[in-house]
Amino acid sequence: MNLLANIGLNAERTPIPEGATGALMRIVEQHRSGYVVHDGLKTYTAKALPKLRHQVSDASERPCVGDWCLVVERGCEFMIERMLPRFSTLVRGAAGETQTRQALAANIDHVLIVTGLDRDFNVRRIERYLTLVSGSGVRPTLVLTKADKNTDAESLRAEVAAIAPGVTLHLVNAKSTESCALLAVQLRPGETAVLVGSSGAGKSTLTNTLLGEFAQATGSVREADGRGRHTTVSRALLPLPGGACLIDTPGLREIKLTGEEDVADSFDDVAALAATCRFRDCRHEREPGCAVRAALEDGQLDAARFANFQKLSAEVARAGEGALERKARKSYAAEMSRAMRDVTRRKR
Ligand SMILES: Nc1nc2c(ncn2[C@@H]2O[C@H](COP(=O)(O)OP(=O)(O)OP(=O)(O)O)[C@@H](O)[C@H]2O)c(=O)[nH]1
Ligand SMILES: [Mg+2]
Ligand SMILES: [Zn+2]
């Protein structure tokens, strides 16, 4: 149990089911062909029982990096036989037109949203990430990298601080240990953080710096040869020397919302204004007594931020309708299987 604490186990948050068989391990890597699991001492390649991958009501319930699971040795293979409930999950809408969701990481305390102060810099994208995280109940932290390469770094930091009041913000050179020191102490022992951001933003560079002298030993992260080349191809959980765990992920091409986000949380300034509009259902178009329009007119609220708020709100609403449909289908399926069971019972 002590060893598992090194890879983030907290028995209060992840109670071990009674009568459980198998060894408790954490999924530390996820590939197309299978998983890598960690028992606190060593890693093993493992497969998951097909039912864990296919008999789930939503793709986001499939085993993913950060998950705790029970593993059994079968012949010369390790098999993930059972998943333990998650205390948190970072989910996004799966790429493409499908209405499914994809889990990016499980059992995490922190999401580090990484943006490079180069061509990657985009305040609207940061707002989108903050909105995605708002639905997960996980604490976001913003990390601006490549501060060493941008002479305007301080003013960009101020621009980001203005759209994310109350969110911790770090301006770093991801290659420098000193520059990342404040961020490093924020990753507390026993906690797990996941890095998200575009390809080339500096997630793996940051991971290597935080790993310090252990960077080479892991072999799981590679230094990029350029930016935006999708260097990292799979997600990996790495124990940091300070006792926290860090999950490095491949750059996301699409940050699709799931419908479970809380836009009022990532845009609390707009939400506060909207609460003072004369009409409760004000659409902030031509209604009299609209506090949002007034704030836009006197420059108190930035027009681009408001446009993004409208856009993201519409996306959440649309994705939410899909989620409701899924829920209805799920309860219909449960209803049917209950009815079938009743029928077979009566036959007996
Ligand atoms: N000067 C400077 N270069 C950086 C910084 N952060 C990252 N880089 C460089 O940017 C490039 C991309 O960095 P990576 O760490 O591979 O980016 P990534 O986010 O892991 O990208 P993917 O794995 O493709 O998602 C590398 O050449 C890094 O050396 C920084 O803070 N300062
Ligand atoms: Mg990478
Ligand atoms: Zn209004």
Q: How confident is the model at residue 340 (pLDDT cuts 50, 70, 90)?
A: low
Q: In angstroms, what is the span from residue 171 Cα to ligand 2's centroid? A: 19
- Least confident range of 74-83, 135-144, 339-348: 339-348
Which ligand has the minimum distance to the alpha carbon of residue 294?
3
The pLDDT of 311-318, averaged and rounded, is 94
Q: How confident is the model at residue 219 (pLDDT cuts 50, 70, 90)?
A: very low
Tell me whether strands 110-116 and 68-74 are parallel, antiparallel or unpaired: unpaired
- Strand, coil or helix: what is 232? coil
Q: Is 173 in the pocket of ligand 1 (CB under 6 A)?
A: yes
- The whole-angstrom separation of Cα 319 and Cα 267 is 18
Q: Is 208 in the pocket of ligand 1 (CB under 6 A)?
A: no
With a cut of 50, say whether residue 217 has pLDDT above it.
no
- The whole-angstrom separation of Cα 80 and Cα 67 is 11
pTM: 0.90
- 178 half-sphere exposure, CB direction, 13 A CA radius: 1
Q: Is 30 in the pocket of ligand 1 (CB under 6 A)?
A: no
Reference 186, options 204, 170, 208; nearest CA is 170
Cα-based distances in Å from 299 to 25, 210, 267: 53, 41, 17
- Least confident range of 146-150, 209-213, 229-233, 255-259: 229-233
Reference 192, options 144, 233, 143, 138; nearest CA is 138
2-83 — its CATH code?
A: 2.40.50.140
Which ligand has the minimum distance to the alpha carbon of residue 288?
3
Residue ranges of alpha helices (H) inside 135-231 are 153-163, 181-186, 203-211, 215-218
Using CA positions, which residue lies closest to atom 12 of ligand 1?
A: 200
- The whole-angstrom separation of Cα 207 and Cα 244 is 12
- Domains of the chain, residue spans: 2-83, 89-248, 263-342
Q: How does pLDDT run across 36-73, given as a tens digit for each residue?
A: 999 999 999 999 999 998 888 888 999 999 999 999 99
Q: How does pLDDT run across 177-189, given as a tens digit for each residue?
A: 999 999 999 999 9
- The whole-angstrom separation of Cα 42 and Cα 18 is 25
Q: How does pLDDT run across 68-89, given as a tens digit for each residue?
A: 999 999 988 999 999 999 999 9
Topology of domain 263-342 in CATH is: Ribonucleotide Reductase Protein R1; domain 1 (1.10.40)
pLDDT exceeding 70 applies to what percent of the chain? 87
Q: How confident is the model at residue 221 (pLDDT cuts 50, 70, 90)?
A: very low
The pLDDT of 2-13, averaged and rounded, is 91
Q: How confident is the model at residue 20 (pLDDT cuts 50, 70, 90)?
A: confident
Looking at per-residue pLDDT, the higher value among 261 and 231 belongs to 261
Cα-based distances in Å from 31 to 46, 245, 276: 10, 19, 49
If you count DSSP H runs as helices and E runs as strands, how many of each does the chain have, helices first?
Answer: 11, 13
Using CA positions, which residue lies closest to atom 22 of ligand 1?
A: 199
Of 3.50.50.60, 3.60.15.10, 3.40.50.300, 1.10.10.60, which CATH number belongs to 89-248?
A: 3.40.50.300
